[in-house]
Chains A and B, each alone.
Chain A
């Protein structure tokens, strides 16, 4: 409930608040006291705190003009994601240790900052961010040191190591906006959180509810940031096995409803090869494609130049607004 204070809205003066308090009304509940004044205050408070309905047609127009699809830099992943990461949505990468989640996050960040020339915010909660690996990926794409430095500058890193600093970081983004938060300049198009489970798994379990509540607060903030600032949010998560022995994303049933798209990464078990960089990606949840689509890809593809990969220049997908 919203606590009434004077000055909160026109008509809610100090004397009225004192009089209401005398009648033991401190929050905004309804009575017959000074009918017209209360009617006016109620109308204004409702207008300030409610959400307003938007017509579906206006929402659709808005979405068509503002949604962008960001390519991940890897054609197999793009095929799974229906041409890339969509802005305004939360995508989850789930995989066990060593399955390549962090490498995919690096690849996506490098592709967005170098190829698409947009800023990326990278929230690192595992300490796994390696600037030298990012540089290595950039060096494969371009020999020009200035271009490499520019691309590196567009990736803004925020290290967080517990849930409270993650919440603080996300609240900061929400309040000041992503432009101010990213010092590299340019418009921010993606927020990558690697990994969400590293800060949330330790607080789950036991008989307390605070862990679940903070997890849902993180989920709410990430989705609000995605929608309000029109960015693509990419998070990573661990995996567990369910009763049938199938792989599923970690952090339980409640978190499973949060992402819009979920991709499971696994190592490919090939006989004879011990250290391979090939991974399989399975589409576990999607609103646009049938599930259980599988693609194989090589983690080293981001470290190779365009000519080595396809022999043609990469396409800019930033102008796409409609899924084909």
Chain B
């Protein structure tokens, strides 16, 4: 008999969490996401790009926006940050946070009683960081985090940086069978699906771009550029010129289908050119399942974080 009461209790707990509703992140960053199509409860945003293309900086920008208090223009919600490859740089996040807090305080009178360090600590109290060192540990941690989501209704964002960190280790560990190779990520995706449905959270995940896209579009453009069959050497060099300048060279989706089905918003990051005053420009192209077309934006990374152009 006892176990039925436990199940009933769990059911009601989940019901209350669902009814209370978590904060929507629709307006979190109008520069990146198309109008009216920002991430709402249950959405999964994937940040995809090569190394040094601005994914982590954008993540810090969004996380800062979430944990800032409401009187500083933030959303004042809690964030769970799952770090899979020891990539998380707390000192950098605090620099961005201090800059955001500092520039908003200039408009206030100097009679503010709260110290800047106290404000930073108060913001950091809304951030939780977990390190996972293998895909099995990631799966078990997501199981454990279910309780945390249940007991904290202000926890509405789960960040996984990055979800592709165990790709090669899993692929080699699974031997010849593709199903075995993708098994852990598939289970993680199924668990995330359940968490998204039950607790109405938003998930941001970064994936590294490590696979070249030698796709259909590559062939079509190559045919247009090839001068003729009598000049094979110049055609190969023009292909190389084209492929190195093409922005979507590395955007092949290589993670398991279960993960790709979950993703509702995909943002592709790439490095642009360097401006005259030696600033590196990055660009982000966002596609969603609910809108057509791509929303493009560009930004620079300054001392105080991401600045959109």
Q: How far is the CA of A2 from the CA of B135 in the complex (A)?
A: 12
Please tell me if the beta carbons of A243 and B2 are within 8 angstroms of each other in the complex: no
Distance between A89 CB and nearest chain B CB, rounded to angstroms: 8
- Shortest Cβ gap from A64 to chain B (Å): 9
Contacts of A287 in B (CB 8 A): 56, 89, 92
Closest to A2 in B: B136
CA distance A60 to B127 in the complex (A): 11
Q: What's the nearest-Cβ distance from chain A to residue B250, in Å?
A: 7
Known: A55-B124, A56-B124, A215-B168. A224 touches B244 (CB 8 A): no
B166 to A: closest C-beta gap in Å: 8
Measured CA separation A253–B50 after assembly (Å): 7
Of A59, A254, A257, chain B has the most CB atoms within 10 Å of the CB of: A257
Q: Does A310 contact B (CB under 8 A)?
A: no
Task: Decide: B136 and A1 in contact? CB cutoff 8 A.
Answer: yes
Instruction: Tell whether B208 is near chain A: CB-to-CB under 8 Å.
Output: yes
The distance in angstroms between the C-alpha atoms of A288 and B128, with both chains bound, is: 23
B contact residues around A67 at 8 Å (CB): 91
Please determine whether B130 and A63 come into contact, CB atoms closer than 8 angstroms.
Answer: no
> Nearest A residue to B140 by beta-carbon distance?
A50
Kindly provide the distance from the CB of A88 to the nearest chain B CB, expressed in whole angstroms: 8
Residue of A nearest to B208 (CB): A257
Nearest 7 pairs of A and B residues by beta carbon? A243-B244, A213-B172, A56-B127, A56-B124, A53-B128, A256-B51, A212-B168
Contact (Cβ within 8 A) A60 B169: no
Chain A residues bordering chain B, tally (CB within 8 A):
52
B248 near A: Cβ within 8 Å? no
Question: CB within 8 Å of B: which of A125-177?
Answer: none
Which residue of the partner chain A has the closest CB to B121?
A: A57
Q: Is the CB of A226 within 8 A of B128?
A: no
B86 contact set on A, CB distance < 8 A: 223-224, 226-227
B89 x A50 contact (CB < 8 A): no
Query: Knowing that A50-B143, A53-B148 are A-B contacts, what are 19 other residue pairs whose CB atoms are under 8 Å apart, sorted by A's residue number?
Result: A39-B6, A46-B140, A46-B143, A49-B136, A49-B140, A55-B124, A57-B124, A212-B168, A213-B171, A220-B85, A227-B131, A243-B241, A254-B210, A257-B87, A257-B162, A260-B89, A284-B52, A288-B91, A292-B278
Q: Nearest chain A CB to B145's CB is how many angstroms away?
A: 7
With A and B bound together, what is the CA distance between A46 and B147 in angstroms?
A: 12
Interchain CB contact (< 8 A) of A55 among B128, B169, B171: B128
Residues of chain B touching chain A, judged by Cβ–Cβ distance below 8 Å, are: 2-3, 6, 50-52, 56, 67, 80, 85-87, 89-92, 94, 120-121, 123-133, 136-137, 140-141, 143-145, 148, 162, 165-166, 168-169, 171-173, 208-210, 240-241, 243-244, 250, 274, 278-280, 301
Are A253 and B250 in touch, CB under 8 angstroms?
yes
> What B residues does A322 contact at CB under 8 A?
91
User: Could you tell me the distance between the alpha carbons of A257 and B166 in the complex, rounded to whole angstroms?
Assistant: 13
Q: Contact flags (1/0) for A197-236 with B, using CB distance below 8 Å?
A: 0000000000001101111110110011011000000000
A291 on the interface (CB 8 Å rule)? yes
29 contacts between A and B (CB under 8 A): A1-B136, A35-B3, A39-B6, A46-B143, A49-B136, A49-B140, A51-B132, A53-B80, A53-B148, A55-B124, A56-B124, A56-B127, A56-B129, A60-B90, A60-B121, A63-B90, A210-B172, A213-B172, A216-B165, A219-B85, A244-B244, A257-B87, A257-B162, A257-B208, A287-B56, A287-B92, A290-B278, A291-B52, A322-B91
